Amino acid sequence: MFSVGTDIVAISRISEELAERILSEEEKKIYNSFKSVKRKKEFVAGRFAAKEAFIKAYGEKNLDFKKIEFLKDENGKPIPGKKLKKLLNDIELQVSISHEKEYAIAVVIVLRRDEK
């Protein structure tokens, strides 16, 4: 069985406090590698949207945002980090994050193999 979650975020709503509250230590390393404030806000908005989309697709609302960790592969594609993989067990997921002017959007697809 699979489920889908999506979320959209206005980049203008993003603050340093939000970044501190939702980013894992590994995500903060990526965040801190960006030089411009604009790119940092886009990154946080994208990760926030992805985390919200994951919660919607996964179906459990009481998850720590810092454990819902999306890093990136060698091509820049968002992938689940170690903390998130620990939560997933026999669940596979795909995530897509996009930015356009003042918005960031994310879509997460969760595939549960253990359900009949």
State pLDDT tens for residues 28-44: 999 999 999 999 999 99
State how far the Cα of 35 lies from the Cα of 76, in Å rounded to an integer. Answer: 17
Query: Residues 39-66, buried b or exposed e (16+ Cβ, 10 A)?
Result: ebbbbbbbbbbbbbbbbbbbeeeeeebb
Confirm or deny that 90 is annotated as ligand binding.
no
Q: What does the pLDDT read at residue 88?
A: 81
Q: Measuring CA to CA, which residue among 99, 40, 93, 91 is closest to residue 70?
A: 93
Contact (CB, 8 A) for 4 and 57: yes
Q: Where are the domains of the chain?
A: 2-112
| pTM, two decimal places | 0.92
Confirm or deny that 16 is annotated as ligand binding.
no
For 4-29, what is each residue's pLDDT tens digit? Answer: 999 999 999 999 999 999 999 999 99
The residues assigned a catalytic role are 56, 99
State how far the Cα of 37 lies from the Cα of 31, in Å rounded to an integer. Answer: 10
- The CATH-assigned architecture of domain 2-112 is Alpha-Beta Complex (3.90)
> Rounded mean pLDDT of the chain?
92
38 exposure class (CB count in 10 Å sphere: 0-12, 13-18, 19+):
exposed
Averaged pLDDT, 72-80: 93
Instruction: Say what percent of the chain tops pLDDT 70.
Output: 97
Q: What does the pLDDT read at residue 114?
A: 64
Contact (CB, 8 A) for 40 and 46: no
pLDDT surpassing 90 at residue 87: no
